[in-house]
Structures are given as C-alpha cells and as structure tokens.
Amino acid sequence: MIPRRLLLAGLAAPGLACAQWAPTRPIRIVVGFSAGGGTDITIRTMAARLQASLGQPIVVENRPGASGNLASEAVLRAPPDGHTLLMGTIAALAINPTLFRNLGFDPRVDFSPISLTGDILNVFVCAPEKPFADFSALLAAARARPDTLSNGHSGVGGSGHLAGALLDAMAGIRTIQVSYRGGGALIADIISGKVDFSCATASTTLPHIESGRLRALAVPSPARSPLLPNTPAVAETLPGYAVANWNALVGPRGMAPEVVARLNLAMREALADPEVAANLRRHGVEPAPSTPAELARFIREETEKWAPVIRASGATVD
C-alpha cells in the first residue's frame, strides 16, 4: 500500500503550478500489458482529463511482453521531450531490476519520474465451479495436492506473481505459476476454469465478481477493502501477508524540469477530478498523486523492499 504521506503530499505542490511548457503534438503513453488489464484501464480512465489539461490527444499504446520491459525500452529510446511516456507498474519500475539478470537499464536512474497514479486493489479469485468455497479451502486443496493447482498472473514480476510466490512461501504450498501477457486473457481463462485461481486487479475482476462469474476469495491488502467488505484479507488467515500494487507515470531520462512539472500538474489535476477519481475507485484504484521527487524515492524504497523477497523465491529471468 502506498504510504499515506505520499497520498497527501502529492495534492500540494504549489511550485509546479507555474510550469509553462506545453506539448506540441499527441502524447503517447505506452502500457506494458495488453488492452483490458488493470494498468490499461487506469490510464484510459484518466486519458480524457489529461487531454483536456494538456491540450493534445492522449494515445495509449499497448506493448505487452517481458513483464513490461518491452514498453520500458520503447520509452527509453524516445526523445525526452514529454511526448512519449510510460505507464509504469510495480513490476517495470521496482521488481524487474532484481528479477531480470540482464535488464540493461535501471528504472531508478533511467526514467524521469512524473507522478504516482494510484494504489490498486488486487483480489484472489476463482471460477464459482471450483471447489474452493473460501480462501481456507483453497489453501487446504493446495496443501493436499502440491504442484497441481494452477495460479495465473499477468506477468512475471508483477503484483499477481509476487502475491502467488509469497503465498506459496508463507502458506507452505506449491502451486503452478501460469504467466499471461495481460489481465484480459487471464480473466477469460479463470472464468472458463482453465486456471484454478489468480490474484488479479479489481479493475478486471469486480464486474465478474458482481455478475457471479468469479468468486472473490480474499484480498492481499493488510485489511479488507470497502469495495469488497465481505471478502477477507489474506492476513486474516496468514498473519503478516500483504502485497501492494501500484502504477506511476514516468518518461525517458533527461526530461527538462519544466516538462516534468507540467506533466505532474496534469496528473494531479486528473486525479483530483471528482469524476475521474470516482471512476478509478470503482475499478479498485485509490488516486495517489505525488511529486516527482517523492516518486523517485518511492521507487527506490519499493525496489529495496522487494529485492530480498524475489531472491528468496528463486525467481529469475535471463
């Protein structure tokens, strides 16, 4: 979960309001996952308000693959003029430096931080036909049948993957990790029963939970969510269990301060818009703007926090 100091501090950055830079052509925001996933839904929910603020069209481009690295590399190759940006995730910005042996870049220094976007709710779900009436039943089945239950996630190193790896470690179970290139395809296979369970974003699961096509088992947050008050937190079964999920807007290294400042202002305006904020919350995203400096510090802290967890899990990608 994003610290409350960042949720509050990002709302007050008066020195940025005088930024004078303005874009001169459409702004491309690259997403490292397929259309229909949580990160994609979040930026598309904000796009119209960002466009109104910046006076240029917002073009969302999906470049799935390599846990967000393909999108990251595309943005890093772009001119640092503010017209090509990355909708980064916990995977792309904080997990991949440890997960990938030969990443080739360091998100902590090779991106220009702009602003955090939000604290994203994840949910452990399964198809209602599965024999898991609740989260305890899922754990019991996993313990009884090691290396049998499939646990889907939308990319190695993402919050869903981390949630599964941490669950295996803390619960003493062994599940089969199944990686997808985005949330849309993953959700389809959970609904059909091809995958036994998953920890996926609320933006992709809530409509199906409400329609009865998915069963909510637990949330990996430290406490229950107001969106799903009757769904327990994993920590109620496994004390101390918690996996955060977040995303943020960044650009290529070397962006001018006035460009960063203007984009940060647009982000804060969008996240403060009542209609945008309400739509994000309906998708399980709590708006959480930040200053660029706060985002830089947050990325460093998250990288340091998750590095030992990833190493302990034994997960690596060449």
Per-residue pLDDT band at 3 (split at 50, 70, 90): low
pLDDT at 177 over 50: yes
pLDDT of residue 316: 79
C-beta of residue 289 within 8 angstroms of C-beta of residue 267: yes
The CA distance from 87 to 107, in Å, is 13
pLDDT of residue 188: 94
Fold of 4-9+24-119+245-313: D-Maltodextrin-Binding Protein; domain 2 (3.40.190)
The CA distance from 119 to 64, in Å, is 21
Average pLDDT, integer, range 249-271: 98
Query: Could you give the percent of the chain with pLDDT greater than 70?
Result: 94
pLDDT of residue 244: 83
User: Domain 122-236 - what CATH class?
Assistant: alpha beta
The CA distance from 289 to 164, in Å, is 28
pLDDT of residue 117: 96
The CA distance from 213 to 137, in Å, is 19
Q: Is there a shared CATH topology between the 4-9+24-119+245-313 domain and the 122-236 domain?
A: yes
The CA distance from 59 to 272, in Å, is 21
Encode pLDDT of 111-165 as tens digits. Answer: 999 999 988 899 999 999 999 999 999 999 999 999 999 999 987 778 888 899 8
pTM for the full model?
Answer: 0.82
pLDDT of residue 15: 45
pLDDT of residue 34: 86
Domain chopping of the chain, boundaries: 4-9+24-119+245-313, 122-236
Name the residue with tokens 């990251």.
72
Encode pLDDT of 261-281 as tens digits. Answer: 999 999 999 999 999 999 999
pLDDT of residue 18: 47
Q: Which residues pair with residue 249 across a beta bridge?
A: 87, 115
pLDDT at 17 over 50: no
